[in-house]
């Protein structure tokens, strides 16, 4: 947990900073945890001020029809409780994934913050399944927030945050890792997918 908190604490002061990262390029205005935090706030605000949108009603109805078609439909009552349960499970799974992956950086004595003091190529634990378990965990947490609030319209927020991370942060991080670890990183990329 301390790794995630360190990452979040370092992300906030960087907002508006134009210092250089260890790869020589300017540091990002906002690190990924900042985008995930903004995404979570947007999902909450969407829920708070737009309790149910035109997009959400057909989604809820479709889930209800799908569950009714299942042979064990009485066990799966698709209502607000079911959506909240799915949301809580997704949130807990995402937080666990992100926190345990963050702990692996500490175990390998390397910095959890991208573009800082990268000293080890972490390849065990969650990193055997995906090259970006922290981002995947945080995305899963946002999806959980979407389900908990019962609003499929918040999928737009989740998708936007995911695209920002996938198109602007991950390629830069991978280029930096490739410059530091060379063929070892290329071999790792060949074995482990970027996401799943």
What span, in angstroms and rounded, lies between the C-alpha atoms of 82 and 75?
10
Alpha-carbon torsion (86, 89, 52, 38), positive or negative: negative
Q: Is the pLDDT of residue 149 over 90?
A: no
184 inside domain: yes
For residue 134, is it within any domain?
Answer: yes
**Residue 73, in any domain of the structure:** yes
Which pair of structure tokens corresponds to residue 167?
């198109």
Phi, psi of 20 (to 5 degrees): -95, 145
Report the domain count for the chain.
1
- Which pLDDT score is estimated for 11? 47
Residue 108 inside a domain? The answer is yes
Does some domain include residue 21? no
Residue that the structure tokens 């990002």 belong to: 28
Phi, psi of 112 (to 5 degrees): -80, -20
pTM: 0.78
Residue 23: inside a domain: no
- Residues of the domain holding 74: 2-14+28-191
Whether residue 12 has pLDDT greater than 50 = no
At 159, is the pLDDT very low, low, confident or very high (cuts 50, 70, 90)? very high
The full DSSP string for 115-169 is TS-------SGGGGT-S-HHHHHHHHHHHHHHHHHT-GGGHHHHHHHHHHIIIII
| Contact predicate 122/108, CB 8 Å | yes
Evaluate whether residue 167 is within a structural domain: yes
CA proximity to 36, closest of 3, 11, 10: 11
Q: Are 22 and 172 in contact (CB under 8 A)?
A: no
For the stretch 55-91, pLDDT in tens is 666 666 666 666 666 655 454 445 677 788 999 999 9
Q: Is residue 19 part of a domain?
A: no
Collect all residues with Cβ–Cβ distance below 8 Å to 105 and sequence separation of at least 6. 3, 111, 112, 122
């Amino acid at each position: 947990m301390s790794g995630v908190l360190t990452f979040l604490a370092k992300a906030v002061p960087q907002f508006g900073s134009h210092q250089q990262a260890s790869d020589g390029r300017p540091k990002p205005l906002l690190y990924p945890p900042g985008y995930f935090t903004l995404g979570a706030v947007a999902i909450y605000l969407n829920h708070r001020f737009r309790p149910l949108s035109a997009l959400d009603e057909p989604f809820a109805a479709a889930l209800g029809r799908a569950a009714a078609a299942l042979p064990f439909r009485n066990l799966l009552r698709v209502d607000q409780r079911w959506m909240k349960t799915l949301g809580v499970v997704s949130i807990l799974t995402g937080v666990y994934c992100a926190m345990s992956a963050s702990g692996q950086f500490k175990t390998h004595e390397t910095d959890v913050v991208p573009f800082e003091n990268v000293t080890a190529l972490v390849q065990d634990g969650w990193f055997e399944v995906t090259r970006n378990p922290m981002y995947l965990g945080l995305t899963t947490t946002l999806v959980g927030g979407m389900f908990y609030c019962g609003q499929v319209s918040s999928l737009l927020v989740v998708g936007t945050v995911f695209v920002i991370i996938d198109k602007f942060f991950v390629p830069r991080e991978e280029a930096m890792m490739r410059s530091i670890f060379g063929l070892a990183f290329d071999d790792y990329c060949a074995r482990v997918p970027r996401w799943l």
